[in-house]
Amino acid sequence: MDQRKETDYVPGSFAERGLTVPFTTPIVAQARVRLDGNDRIEFILPSLSGGKGRYVMPWSTVQSLATTTLHDRALYDRMSPGVIETPAALRRAALQVASKGLAGPKAARAAQAALAADENSQVSANFLLVARLLSLVGMSTSDILDDERRGEVSRTRVRAALGRVADSLTLPKADLYHRVEALSVLISPLGLADAPQPGRLRDLARTLAAFTAEVQNWATSTVADVAQLGSFVGQVANATQAMVQAEIDRFDAALAQPAAIFKAWEGRAGAMKASVARTELLLDGWEYLLGLWRVAAERDNAEKQSAIADLFRLLPMIPKSEGRFASAKEYVDLGNVQRRWVRANEDWRSGRLDFDQVHKIEAIKAQLR
């Protein structure tokens, strides 16, 4: 078994950090996945005792370490180098598995809703992009809606107007249509700033900002040493949120001038794609943690303390390539605190499948968008 403990606590890059896998087996919940040097899938598990280090292993070792749920076996079955290349592809695979009911009926409903919402967000992004382009030739969305109300065929007017936009950009009409479609798909996870329903990642960034304030507040009002973990979690959340916000600001500024993107398509579309990808990577792993805190926040202080210890264990550390936020020593010191707040007698640490814990994870999964 290749069970080496990494000497460093902070990954060098997003590729080294891997992508979070929404497994439901407690011992591997929020494990990370990446390709090894030979393009084989390997998993990174946080230390089981809650202490320092990470375990790196292939799926066969994961299986010998713990009894995994059928959901996780089915999810692994869908994993390929392509699926684990981006958080979006992995998320889609996980939603498809959960939609079958393998993480319980509530998570199935949530997964089906999330898959439908993804489709809708592409339609919504497309509509808003077209509206922005039409405004360049003096046509507003209210004009289109008025046409609809009068029973006139608006599609013809819209096509004509888009044709004028294409002419002004000196682009073939077909190219413009194709680029609008492609950009709609590309930006839909973040969506446009003025969309009535914020994009999934934009919404997640807002929730992360609210969480940051809440957990920092909790840390300052808690006397126990677990508050140090809360403070650290708050710092990492804050730094992540600041980076995400900066990325979203750049994204929104670029999208404010869609004509420029369609004109210089090759370079600008790539930049927009990179912007969405970086936002996705920065936020990868946070959605579950925010759900974990949301559940604990409604309970007593002991639950919050325990949740903070879990958050610390599963914290998506910002890779060194993006900036430096904590020293290894600080991380080790905090790891010592964290170990004191890990509860004993929890079956999942023994590798047995503890379905009470599985249900807790499934309940969080059922809340996710």
Partner 1 sequence: MSTSDYWQKVAEATRNLPDHKLLDVVALIDRLPDEGRPLHVLEAMRGRLTRLRPPRRLTIQRLLFLPVEDLFDPPDAYRRKIGRLSRAVIRVCWRTLVERGDAALIESTARRLKGLETHEPAELMPVAAPLWRSAAATLADAHAIAERDRMAGVKMFGRDDDLLRQVGDIAIIFGIGEPIMTAKFELPAKPIQSISAGQAEMLTRMIAQLGSSQLVLAKTFVLVLAARMARPGDLLEVLDSARFPCQVTERDTMVREVEASIIANLVREAQALRSTAKAPADPVAATETARRLVEGLTSLRSSMKSLSEPATMAHIQSARREIAGYIMGNVIDRAERTMASLIGADAGSAGSSIETLSEPQLEATEALALSLRHCAGMGEAVGIQREVAAKLRVVCDSLARSIDALNLTPEAQERRLYGTLRLIEMIEGPEAAEALWLKGLERLGFGPAM
Q: Which of 68, 154, 212, 279 binds partner 1 (CB under 8 A)?
A: 68
Q: Which of 215, 309, 318, 368 binds partner 1 (CB under 8 A)?
A: 309
Q: Which of 22, 53, 87, 104 binds partner 1 (CB under 8 A)?
A: 104
Radius of gyration, CA atoms only, the chain: 23
CB of 199 to partner 1, least distance (A): 28
For 56, phi then psi, to 5°, come to -115, 125
Could you tell me how far CA 152 lies from the centroid of its own chain? 42
If phi over 0 gives left and psi between -120 and 50 gives alpha, with beta otherwise, what is residue 151?
A: left
Residue 224 binding partner 1, by CB under 8 A: yes
Residue 323 binding partner 1, by CB under 8 A: no
Residue 228 binding partner 1, by CB under 8 A: no
Residue 348 binding partner 1, by CB under 8 A: no
Q: Which of 70, 123, 256, 271 binds partner 1 (CB under 8 A)?
A: 70
Distances (CA, A) of 348 to 65, 68, 358: 11, 10, 9
CB of 79 to partner 1, least distance (A): 10
Residue 256 binding partner 1, by CB under 8 A: no
Partnered with residue 44 across adjacent β-strands are 32, 56
How many residues does the structure list for the chain?
Answer: 369
CB of 72 to partner 1, least distance (A): 8
Interaction pattern, residues 38-67, with partner 1; x per rule: CB under 8 A = -----------------------------x
Q: Locate tokens 């590729």: which residue?
A: 15
Could you tell me how far CA 339 lies from the centroid of its own chain? 27
124: tokens are 């919504």
Crossing angle of helices 286-297 and 301-314, rounded to 10°: 170
166: tokens are 């294409």
Partnered with residue 3 across adjacent β-strands are none
* CB 268, CB 254: distance < 8 Å: yes
Q: Which of 4, 155, 159, 340 binds partner 1 (CB under 8 A)?
A: 340
Residue 101 binding partner 1, by CB under 8 A: yes
> Which range touches partner 1 (CB under 8 A), out of 119-127, 151-159, 182-190, 353-361?
353-361
Q: Footprint of partner 1 on this chain (CB under 8 A)?
A: 67-70, 73-74, 77-78, 96-97, 100-102, 104-106, 109, 224-226, 299-303, 305-306, 309, 339-346, 353, 355-356, 359
